[in-house]
Amino acid sequence: NAGVMQNPRHLVRRRGQEARLRCSPMKGHSHVYWYRQLPEEGLKFMVYLQKENIIDESGMPKERFSAEFPKEGPSILRIQQVVRGDSAAYFCASSPGTADIQYFGAGTRLSVL
């Protein structure tokens, strides 16, 4: 049973471009979470999704950021018109249900030039 898979591991974008981060949850997991970790800082919750539904997006910036978890395929975190402040590690986690252990991917490190 493969773990949570995130790709790409590293992503370099210029200011104004779009970044697409992908997360394939563990098999059988229908709950996906996205977190952002800035250098030397903790983990900040961004969004919680179940299949085709956004359950809680209270940690997502109101503009430029969006997330989806379609019926088929991975969850996508999309950042439009990236700025230097978006440079961070973005982690995805999945769980089989609410209040369950979250299994984390290795993260995508986004660098905005």
Partner 1 sequence: AQSVAQPEDQVNVAEGNPLTVKCTYSVSGNPYLFWYVQYPNRGLQFLLKYITGDNLVKGSYGFEAEFNKSQTSFHLKKPSALVSDSALYFCALTNAGKSTFGDGTTLTVKP
Nearer to partner 1, 9 or 15 (CB): 9
d(CA 82, CA 105): 22
For the bound state, the minimum distance from the C-beta of residue 8 to partner 1, rounded and expressed in Å, comes to 14
d(CA 49, CA 27): 16
Can you tell me which residue has the tokens 């991917």? 105
Applying CB under 8 A, which residues contact partner 1?
A: 4, 33, 35, 41-45, 48, 55-56, 58, 91, 93, 98-99, 101-107
Nearer to partner 1, 17 or 26 (CB): 26
For the bound state, the minimum distance from the C-beta of residue 55 to partner 1, rounded and expressed in Å, comes to 6
Contact 8, 23 (CB under 8 A): no
